[in-house]
Amino acid sequence: MPGIPREFRVSLPAWLDDELAAVPATIPDRAARMRLVHRLADRNWREGNGGPFAALVAEQDTGRIISVGVNVVLASGVSAAHAEIVALSLAQTAVGGWDLGAHGLPAHELIVNWRPCVQCYGATMWSGVRRLVIAGAGPELEDLTTFDEGPLGADWAEQLETRGIDVVQDQLRDEALAVFRAYREALDAGEVAVYNPRGESE
Amino acid sequence: MPGIPREFRVSLPAWLDDELAAVPATIPDRAARMRLVHRLADRNWREGNGGPFAALVAEQDTGRIISVGVNVVLASGVSAAHAEIVALSLAQTAVGGWDLGAHGLPAHELIVNWRPCVQCYGATMWSGVRRLVIAGAGPELEDLTTFDEGPLGADWAEQLETRGIDVVQDQLRDEALAVFRAYREALDAGEVAVYNPRGESE
């Protein structure tokens, strides 16, 4: 069976270097960490890399930033390359192993600008993070952006808590919605490519 | 923010080259495709790359193999690198885009040796495949292997069908269970490393 691919790669876009140049290595204030996520989410769709989504992994107690991720589905050509998968995989690359909750490591948290889709919900569960921090969890994301997030049970947060992952909700919620609204306005104005799981870019 | 990683890579293990050397580029018979998946799943845990899981993406009508994947969580150090994510991402690399269901492409199917975990369930949903073929879907996987697969709703298959993804179940089911049983025996005999989302390798 010759010719089948042996490796795939997912990279952060080059504009992140600019965006992060003035960002300190440690951001002790959680709201400030979420503010950075919102800023990256907003720039991400404007740059055409993918949807209006960003994430980061930080050490829970110190606020040291281990990785950042943005949705690079369009840029990478990999449908799994949502912001959470990118941030978690890069964090694991940084610490040198698949388990961010391993003995000997500080506790890690994943910060995202809305409740993860069903894929990234599972990815969070298997990553070893001890906390998930989200800007919000309601239907507003799907209503505003038109993205399908997939089916999650009503007990989605308890299912994380049961597995030792704290869930912190409603962190800078209005700021998240402002990003989604801006994306939607550009969508309605025909200024950005739409993509969704059942069709190609339009 | 210097020093944070910009890229992650996931590669197939070297032993797959041997394993695939005599495999034809097209396998028209679906049972034969599943048999290959079972063989790769069985070798994968014995080689120490990760759990007893494999997957492949094929053109639905011809049986041409686009990609294969195995669970390389341990080998890659990326917790998301389950067999399905690897096979889907490599298939998207092969076709040159994130949507395996795009206009102009033949219909693709994902073949896996059991029902996907919650992460890979979502990944299947967003990948563009038109069919999911699995060896089985019951609690036997978790009971035998001790892996946590996460919460899926009772309507998990309907949720895929609603999104245009056919679900074909119980394909070489007994052969799947035989792989899981062999893995469990090695586990009980202390011959393989255990890993799980809430702890490190033991």
pLDDT (tens digit per residue) in B137-158: 999 999 999 999 999 999 999 9
Closest Cα in chain B, distance from residue A17 (Å): 9
B199·A101 Cβ contact <8 A: yes
Q: What is the pLDDT of residue B148?
A: 94
> Is the entire prediction scored with pTM above 0.90?
yes
- Mark which residues 94-153 of B lie under 8 Å from A by CB: 94, 96-103, 117-123, 125-128, 148, 150-151, 153
Give CA–CA dist B82/B122, Å, rounded. Answer: 12
Nearest CA in chain B to A89: B78
Alpha helix stretches (DSSP H) within chain B: 15-21, 30-47, 73-76, 83-95, 118-125, 140-145, 156-162, 173-188
Average pLDDT, chain B: 94
**ipTM of model:** 0.95
Torsion angle of alpha carbons B142, B147, B152, B155, nearest 10°? -30
* Sequence letter at residue A79: S
pLDDT, tens digit, for every residue of A140-193?
999 999 999 999 999 999 999 999 999 999 999 999 999 999 999 999 998 887
Burial label, A66 (beta-carbon count in 10 A; 0-12, 13-18, 19+): buried
Handedness of CA A117, A160, A180, A48 (dihedral sign): negative
The answer to whether B150 and B117 are in contact (CB under 8 A) is yes
